[in-house]
Structure 1
Amino acid sequence: MQQPSFGFVAAISNEPKSSLERTAHREEGGSATWELYLRRRSLIQQFLRSSLSLRYLQKQQDKVHALKRCSFYLDIEPKYVNVRDQNHVLHRTEVLQLIDQQRLQRMRKMGKAQTQIQLLLLTELLEQLQQGWEELNFYVEVCDTVTFFSQWDRIRQKLSKLTGFMETLLSLEFPGKICVKHSLVSHADLTGTRLPSIRLSLYTKMPVVFDRSESFALKNWARLKWVTGNQESHLEQCELSFKLLTVGLETGVNRTRQVSSSSCIVPDLKPGRSYEFTIRRSPEQTLVFDEWHDTIVLTTCTAEDWWSSTCAKEDEVTHGRASRFIHLKSYE
């Protein structure tokens, strides 16, 4: 990842704190002051167009926005160890199965708190950088030379703070380690087996999102398709939930099913009604933070519309395509 260059900060730091320090040795003080103003203004403009450019701010905003939608998990190292049973036979065992469940829950809570703090800090840093950009841009685009020089100490301090914020932002873009102060494994059943030190850290998975170009509803059924941004060869277990969006005193019931594919046919829907569908990964033992889930609203055709040209054409086009997915897991 390309890190921001802060070489201009040293250049600004070497600038005299007062214009009088520079103009005292010049015969034409006005000309020297103007040259000093142009040089300082140019350095700040360079900062706003390179390291703290609007493109950089938008890129960081997109990263934080995507990170807030991710799922955070505990990463346990090592994954497997050799454990000796009562007959002194070694067995390859998953470390997760050896960890005390109460201690694992504490680590999950710690991981969740750490993740929430990280996301809050990233949001705050982005706000500070945006405000800093606006303030510096005001000094170079609006202020006259007198105001500019009178605020130079403040500008220098602001530049120093902003460069620090950018470095901190860079360090928070990825989940970190979790400090383990006590043993996570009860040694009562290990029969003398000595385990290596267990290390915990956090990692993310991209969110599951609906493919809106491939998800649709007809008269009394709907087809949902979703994708993930992870480069995984196997299909993950997901939870697909849906509910009828009610009208008046009508009550709707939420229904949820486990799905092991990337698409699903949902039958037995009411014609001419809107349904809200939500997709998420099925919870795992190591999940610590998973607050954002993608949602899509689809509306089925009414009985009258079913015979209209629009729905009829849609059915003709999609009937053959949908039949290929009839073998997928359906809702009862």
Structure 2
Amino acid sequence: MPLSQSSEGCGQTGDNSQEANMTCGPSLDLRAQILQLLNTDLNCSSIKSLQCRLEIMQKSSYYLEIYRHDPPPDPKDQQVYMSNSNLLALIDPSGMQRMKVLTTDLVKVRLALLEEYYAQIVKGRDELMAVVNQCDPDLVDYRDQQELQKKILYIIQTLSDFDGTLTARQVYLKHRLIPHEIHIATGLPRLSTSLLIKMPVMFNRDRSYTTWNAAMLHWEVIDQEQPEGDQQFEVHCRMLQPIPADEVQMFTFTCGDYSLQVNNLMPERSYQFSVKRDEACNLVYASWSELMILQTKAAPTG
């Protein structure tokens, strides 16, 4: 919600308004800077957007992507070109595992940084709101104005750091992925790594439903307009609070589509479903899976 502040907020009106601004708050120029920041990058909509972006990053899946630096082959060139699959087969498994561990730590550090940046931004917003809403003669003190200016610059820098951490993708190689002797003998291209981020998978609760003995599940990927091919998802199903006569039901499915029908369920029972991306060999971090609880309907009579 946009915020505004005038000299009337300090209880002064008429010809004394300029004097009131000087005795009841920071200078007009500094107050204008604070209000501009509160009305733009720190307004309610912007803070909510930061929170949503943070939550998406916390729920995303992170992969270590390896790519080569040499250009694609020229069809007219008769030189032997090693395919990506053959190139990846030469990667040292122990070096790859160490890189995955380092990348996992990197992802955790970046997520922790995003949380800290967000907390500092919200704290700074609250402090600036308190400044423009209070009437404190001490604020005309030069040192206090200097501290306020530093706070404004710190918040602006923290907003920039938040965006920079969101977009950072480079992962620097600290271990040799292909043994040195193979590089020398074959003249293989130089390899680099980067962080591949895949958006969270969410159930479509409007389209998911149950019958008396089945559940039809639908899910989608956040910010993905069209379903991508070659995707694998892992779906879990578990009966909740079975009565003593029930046989506890638990199912696990791997699915390449964005929907799944789960059959052989019992009527009038609650089931918890979860969906996440299927684990790949280059997955380094994924701590979240989407949950949904549905109840089957009563069995038909007659």
Shared fold (TM-score, shorter chain, > 0.5): yes
Change (3 A) 1:218 1:98: same
Match of residue 149, structure 1, among 119, 127, 140: 140
Question: Given the two structures, how large is their TM-score scaled by the length of structure 1?
Answer: 0.73
Read off the aligned partner of 1:236 and give its amino acid letter: Q
Question: Given the two structures, how large is their TM-score scaled by the length of structure 2?
Answer: 0.80
Paired position in structure 2 for 1:210: 203
Aligned 8 A contact 1:79 1:96 in 2: no
Paired position in structure 1 for 2:157: 164
* Cα distance, 1:90 vs structure 2: 5.2
- Whole-angstrom distance in 2 between the partners of 1:253 and 1:269: 8
- Whole-angstrom distance in 2 between the partners of 1:90 and 1:50: 53
Match of 2:153, SS?
Answer: helix
Paired position in structure 2 for 1:273: 269
Change (3 A) 1:196 1:90: closer
Instruction: Count the aligned residue pairs.
Output: 272
- Whole-angstrom distance in 2 between the partners of 1:42 and 1:122: 28
Match of residue 41, structure 2, among 43, 51, 63: 51
Trace 1:1-332 onto structure 2 (pairs within 5 A).
Answer: 30=19, 33=22, 37-78=27-68, 91-94=82-85, 95-144=87-136, 146-150=137-141, 151-186=144-179, 192-229=185-222, 230=224, 233-247=228-242, 252-303=248-299, 306-307=300-301
Match of 1:199, SS?
Answer: strand
- Once the two structures are superposed, what CA deviation does each residue of 1:170-227 show, in whole Å capped at 9, x if it has no partner? 2111243112133201356679211222111102111222111111111111111112
Q: With CA pairs under 8 Å and 6+ residues apart, which has the higher RCO, 1 or 2?
A: 2
Instruction: Calculate the aligned-residue CA RMSD, in Å.
Output: 2.9
Change (3 A) 1:31 1:96: same
Read off the aligned partner of 1:114 and give its amino acid letter: L
* Cα distance, 1:141 vs structure 2: 1.0
Match of 1:172, SS?
Answer: helix
* Cα distance, 1:104 vs structure 2: 1.1
Match of 1:227, SS?
Answer: strand
- Once the two structures are superposed, what CA deviation does each residue of 1:16-47 show, in whole Å capped at 9, x if it has no partner? xxxxxxxxxxxxx9589469733432221112
The range that moved more, 209-218 or 188-197, is 188-197
- Whole-angstrom distance in 2 between the partners of 1:219 and 1:271: 5
Change (3 A) 1:36 1:301: closer
- Whole-angstrom distance in 1 between the partners of 2:126 and 2:26: 22
Aligned 8 A contact 1:71 1:290 in 2: yes
* Cα distance, 1:241 vs structure 2: 1.0
- Whole-angstrom distance in 1 between the partners of 2:70 and 2:216: 40
Larger radius of gyration: 1
Aligned 8 A contact 2:92 2:178 in 1: yes
Read off the aligned partner of 2:282 and give its amino acid letter: T
- Once the two structures are superposed, what CA deviation does each residue of 1:117-137 show, in whole Å capped at 9, x if it has no partner? 111111111111111111111
The range that moved more, 219-228 or 73-82, is 73-82
Match of 1:236, SS?
Answer: coil
Change (3 A) 1:50 1:192: same
- For structure 1, the residue ranges without an aligned partner over 5 or more in a row are 1-28, 83-87, 309-332
* Cα distance, 1:113 vs structure 2: 0.8
Change (3 A) 1:81 1:232: farther
- Whole-angstrom distance in 2 between the partners of 1:32 and 1:140: 11
- Whole-angstrom distance in 1 between the partners of 2:271 and 2:71: 48
Match of 2:27, SS?
Answer: helix
- Whole-angstrom distance in 2 between the partners of 1:31 and 1:90: 77
- Whole-angstrom distance in 2 between the partners of 1:32 and 1:133: 21
Aligned 8 A contact 1:81 1:92 in 2: no
Match of 1:173, SS?
Answer: helix
Aligned 8 A contact 1:235 1:262 in 2: no
Read off the aligned partner of 1:143 and give its amino acid letter: C
The range that moved more, 173-182 or 111-120, is 173-182
Read off the aligned partner of 2:188 and give its amino acid letter: L
* Cα distance, 1:284 vs structure 2: 0.8
- Whole-angstrom distance in 2 between the partners of 1:286 and 1:280: 16
* Cα distance, 1:138 vs structure 2: 0.6
Match of 1:297, SS?
Answer: strand
